[in-house]
Structure 1
């Protein structure tokens, strides 16, 4: 029997396998954290009421990017982007397969990767959570504009319809709301980092710790201070509005392949609503809103479609907004909303201004066809309209943002600055089946309601349709793929929130803040290198 005596103060040798495992674990920690932060951002979005997950998500992203070099930060940011956007946008492949979905998520994640580089760069500066949050909003702003007019789906603000920060939408729109969430999350990490350093070194830099704590407290305090902006009083009286959801005969891209079936569904449900009004079950609406593409035939070129619409509108006895695809002899198709009056027929139109790339028109068609033959289902491209959509319905000016347009700040704001007392977001989500897309879009409309202090009505072909008050609360909503008609009295408002008045000014200020911080960081780093070279 023998024993090995180890001299005091010496360490036992670590097995090579354990050392390699430890190095691998350390190397994978930040990539795993970045991917997890993206997944947590996804989970913070509807239909889950987990808006608060965005805060630890940004804290985790801050930890993974803090002090990283640009190349590493790009990779970490890309992982975060994929973790966020891959599950968030899975609905885009509902009927066309995985390739378009994966391609879209892969391209959009590049913007998150670029923001990751900027965040890592500014972490070297004092008060870095402020600059990092501004860099994130700069990335969202660029992504909302390029390419092909941008793709703002997945703005952090759109996941906050149930959150405590929502009132900030009325202060400065989606950029200020998103900035507050990101700042609070980065501030949480910086606070934790300072506390950890104190425990490790015993030093407590009170100034930096106070600044970190303020990065958490200021956004929350600002949101509470903005609560009075959530005013849903009836400044200009009220209107009784009806939203009709007729449902579709089948799901998918070919939902309107059965000639006139979608139109018949919406006409029948409107006629049922008229019978309910006559029976005293629901009040007589001042006007009725149908969804986007609720008429699968052009009523200007199809007499039978015109007769069906006219009969339904006469039955309900109120101006009705019809969504239709217009098919002129030449030129592009038009995704059009038509104001239809019981005695006069069609009296006004609004052509969707921001048509959806790869959905309503195909950019670079020959190239895209190499990856998916589904592009040929869009045989004829849609063209954009050129005027703001505001209809006068029974004396009420109703602003119109068709489906995809609700994701764009300018497209909704224009309707309010042009006199809209209420906003309608008619949509068609039959293409996306039972995915989360409809809940994500409904959350956008709730944020828009608060942003502009307007009631928002969301009539959808197959669900979820809803009526939303100016404070973002849902009055009524339908179930998916169930014919229904929602009727409610909503307040009409004419005052403008600070967000509506300022327009793009808050976003521009945050972008300038981000660019200034990036320039400061680059210049500081260059000075340090020159000093080291001496």
Structure 2
């Protein structure tokens, strides 16, 4: 067991190295194979131990950026995420007793990954295998398979690698066939990319205004932040008027470009209106607004400001961050809202529910706000409803000195491939950028940069298979977990009944 535990600890670190800032995606199958070897031959009563150790090193390394919130928050959140590797170890132990166990083991990985990505309190999707595939042949399968399907493909590569290594002494024909089939499935999307038809173009400006001072605390300098975005937009208008810059069809400001309700603060509202009138095109403003149904709650929204008209269509963030933007069970004795930095969350943010795209300058836009980009249903749902382009408004100022910025920008790149849409990212102080539907970055602004990107991007109405499938692959992964667990429990109960001794009297009769 000690060697298994060491292998599991090392395997978790190897898998974490596949994600930014290291970004060695080819290590993912190696990390998965290490987990398989660490639990191989163990019963479910012991297999969870090395699996848990694997999860501890993996989650604490991948989400080390959570320390920006606080060491206590990092320890608590990663402990919860690592706990999901306990049922994973049990499921791997069950799977490896079956024929074609690499398939069942890969399904268990994806099922647990899906579970922890949505539970509890919306879960934590960072660390999904698919999110480390940017720039690899695996990512080319995204429009065909979606995020869940690509995670399955990567997991299956890792479990198959473990199986092949076990076959090295006496390789069978089945091993050669399995490897050849897996290679063909992995490379086929790169050789035959999904066709995306471009139906038109539009020119978009993404404004990154930065945060004065340390760059970490937007609320403390929120008026300066808004003023900087107003100033950069008006400077863009002057450059357009002078013929020095191409005129955009609309402008995107980041999340928290105003940290107060722009409809209730006259100064902030006047600045936004002045910027919109100066550039003479709509601006998608990231604002925190009071909930009209409850004064004690707020909404994190992307608001379309039209020149001469003011506020129009709105998108409301679907996945507010627990303990960052709202406090679950606020007021309860076991989690008082006065603990630590929770005092910085005086009001709870309400989640949005609409999947209707924004209409901006006659373009249907799928919007996502910050962590929304890590969840499958929001962007895909809006694209399925007709969105021709994707915008991501994000702040992440608190994480501006961490690797969270790079990890989230990689997810934005992958969303472009999954949906077959151009993606425009506007960050408050990094990383902003424009991404093609094949995942390549056309232009970007580094962290703490202050710049306006103006790019002509393509529009499309093509629906990829991934968008058409929506969240069903993830749901099926959860159904697999339930069905396999029930099948094991039923089989175990039947065996126990069969092992019961027969009474002597009944036996004599």
Same fold (TM over 0.5): yes
In structure 1, the partner of 2:464 is 497
Separation in 1, partners of 2:490, 2:101: 15
Distance 2:344 2:490 in 1: 52
Name the structure 2 match of 1:411: 378
Counterpart position of 2:129: 156
Match of 2:3 among 12, 29, 42: 29
1: CA distance between counterparts of 2:479 and 2:385?
Answer: 28
Q: Does 1:38 align with 2:12?
A: yes
* Alignment partners' CA distance in 1, 2:181 and 2:481: 19
The structural deviation recorded for 1:468 is: 0.8
Q: SS at the partner of 1:492?
A: strand
- How far off its partner does 1:506 sit? 2.5
Task: Give 1:387 deviation, angstroms.
Answer: 1.8
**What stretches of structure 2 of length at least 5 have no aligned partner?**
502-509
Pair 1:82-2:56 in alignment: yes
**Residue of 335, 354, 357 corresponding to 1:387:** 354
- Partner residue in 2 for 1:427: 394
Q: How far, CA to CA, are the matches of 1:259 and 1:473 in structure 2?
A: 33
Deviation at 1:220, TM superposition (A): 3.1
* Contact 1:455–1:470 (8 Å) recurs in 2: yes
Alpha carbons 2:215, 2:429 under 8 Å: kept: no
**Which of 466-475 and 277-286 deviates more?**
277-286
Q: Check 1:383–1:526 CA distance in 2 against 1; reply closer, same or farther (3 A cut).
A: closer
Q: Which has the higher strand share?
A: 2
Contact 1:45–1:440, Cα closer than 8 Å, also in 2 = yes
**Which structure 2 residues correspond to residues 50-449 of structure 1 after superposition, within 5 A?**
50-94=24-68, 96-196=69-169, 198=170, 206=172, 210=174, 212-227=175-190, 230=193, 235-251=198-214, 254-327=217-290, 330-365=295-330, 366=332, 367-369=334-336, 372-449=339-416
TM-score, structure 1 normalization: 0.88
Deviation at 1:405, TM superposition (A): 1.0
Change (3 A) 1:508 1:326: closer
Whether the aligned pair in 2 keeps the contact of 1:138 and 1:514 (CA below 8 Å) is yes
Deviation at 1:71, TM superposition (A): 2.9
Select between 164-173 and 51-60 the one with higher mean Cα deviation: 164-173
Cα 1:307–1:370 change in 2 (3 A) is: closer
Structure 1: gaps of 5 or more residues:
1-26, 199-203
Please say if residues 59 and 185 of structure 1, whose CA atoms lie closer than 8 Å, have aligned partners that are also in contact. Answer: yes
How far apart, CA to CA, are the structure 2 residues paired with 1:521 and 1:351? 43
- Tell me the matched-pair count: 497
1:9 matched to which residue of 2?
A: none
Cα separation, 2, equivalents of 1:524 and 1:389: 46
Work out the CA distance in 1 between the residues paired with 2:499 and 2:167: 27
Change (3 A) 1:276 1:228: farther
From the superposition, tell whether residues 386 and 514 of structure 1 become closer, same or farther in structure 2 (CA, over 3 Å): closer
Whose radius of gyration is greater, 1 or 2?
1
> 2:477, 2:262 → 1: CA distance?
46
Deviation string for 1:491-526 (max 9, x for gaps)? 111011111111223234444445555555566667
Counterpart-to-counterpart distance in 2, 1:372 and 1:412: 34
* CA deviation after TM superposition for structure 1 residue 130, in Å: 0.3
Give 1:64 deviation, angstroms.
0.7
CA 51–383 in structure 1, closer or farther in 2 if over 3 Å, else same: same
Superposed CA offset, 1:313-369 (max 9, x none): 122221110001113571301111110111212122222122111110011344234
1:191 is paired with a residue whose SS is helix
1-structure distance, mates of 2:191, 2:233: 38
Alignment partner, residue 428 of structure 2: 461
8 Å CA contact retained: 2:114, 2:477: no
Q: For 1:195 and 1:530, locate their aligned partners in 2 and report how far apart those are by CA, in whole Å.
A: 40
Map Cα deviations across residues 264-305 of structure 1 (whole Å, 9 max, x no partner): 111112122223323434311111111011112321011111
Provide the secondary structure at the position in 2 that maps to 1:151. coil
Instruction: Please give the secondary structure, in 2, of the residue aligned with 1:397.
Output: strand
Q: CA deviation at 1:388?
A: 2.2
